[in-house]
Amino acid sequence: MLFRENFIKFKIEVKAAVDQLFKKAFQNQVYETDLLLVLENGMKKEYDEATLKQLNILPYQIGHDTIGFRYNTFYQFINYYRSIVKSREEFSKEFHDYKTKESYLDFYRDFELLLYMKFWETDLILRRLSNLSNLAQGKQYYWEYSQSDFNKRRNLIQDEIQKPLVKICPLFCKLMEEVYCNQIRNAVAHSQYYFLTDTIYFTNKKEYPYYKLNMISYVEWEVKFTKLMLLYNFLIANFNKYRSEYLAKVVDKHFGLLIYFPDKDLKGSTKTGWIKYNIKRDQWEW
């Protein structure tokens, strides 16, 4: 259960961490529209040359695609739950006896573990975090993710998103250390956990040498999950903030905003194109 007291307690530190990531990504982006590509899901489609010539299109596109539709399905799943925030007193008043209350709390913990796993399994979230990390490091936007990039999530999250930000975004790096645990994600995926007394026990510690947890208390889990939900809330808040900034930039631009993508004919070089905001469709378009 998401308790208001926890949201109030951790809100400021989580907001500062996520804001730091976006601020550095915006400041250090190579091209002024690289962050817009993060927001609008810039991607390289796996079309063969014959199809590209036949359709007279480039493989570099923006928009939902299947990864975006999968994300929307996840958002519908998580959005209702993250909006239910009560005080401990409000929650306790709903129950007449301790046993029933604890049964409901166990259900919520199980549901939260499922949400936790699904969050770290959602490819678009990881793609965005990875590119935000790239931009914060002063790297160009990376277009060419494939599904294989997401098959080793621990490496992607810890080695490509988190570790490079130790000095650049220390607050966000610390937050990631607090909220991400590959062992918990794996345990949930394989139902290798159980509840007993006031603790969640994990039975997958022997599987990998870097797994360290035997258990986590309910109190520790509350903190971890609350911070994850606040992370998600402030990711969304920053997506909306910077979308508004780009919309303000494009208002008086006849051709739109200039974006940069790799030149397939000349390795290491870039080409440019224009994207403009279609008010009627409420979307960015080439």
Say what the pLDDT of residue 31 is.
95
Instruction: Classify 206 in phi/psi space as left (phi over 0), alpha (psi -120 to 50) or beta.
Output: alpha
Say what the pLDDT of residue 266 is.
62
Q: In a 10 Å sphere around its CB, with 0-12 CB exposed, 13-18 middle and 19+ buried, how is residue 43 labelled? A: buried
Q: In a 10 Å sphere around its CB, with 0-12 CB exposed, 13-18 middle and 19+ buried, how is residue 114 labelled? A: middle
Residue 243, C-beta contacts closer than 8 angstroms, at least 6 positions apart: 39
Q: 71, 47, 75: which is closest to 61 by C-alpha?
A: 47
pTM: 0.93
Say what the pLDDT of residue 265 is.
63
Say what the pLDDT of residue 212 is.
92
Q: What is the DSSP letter of 155?
A: I
Name the CA radius of gyration of the chain, rounded: 21
Say what the pLDDT of residue 154 is.
81
Q: Which residues pair with 194 in a beta bridge?
A: 201
Amino acid identity, position 64: H
Look up residue 274 and give its two tokens: 């224009």
**Secondary structure tally for the chain: helices H, strands E:** 11, 10
Say what the pLDDT of residue 3 is.
93
The stretches in the chain having pLDDT less than 70 are 52, 55-56, 264-266, 268
Residue 116, C-beta contacts closer than 8 angstroms, at least 6 positions apart: 184, 185, 188, 225, 228
Q: What is the mean pLDDT of the chain?
A: 91
Look up residue 179 and give its two tokens: 């909220």
Q: Which residues pair with 195 in a beta bridge?
A: 200
Distance (Å, rounded) from C-alpha 161 to C-alpha 193? 27
Distance (Å, rounded) from C-alpha 115 to C-alpha 267? 41
Amino acid identity, position 200: I
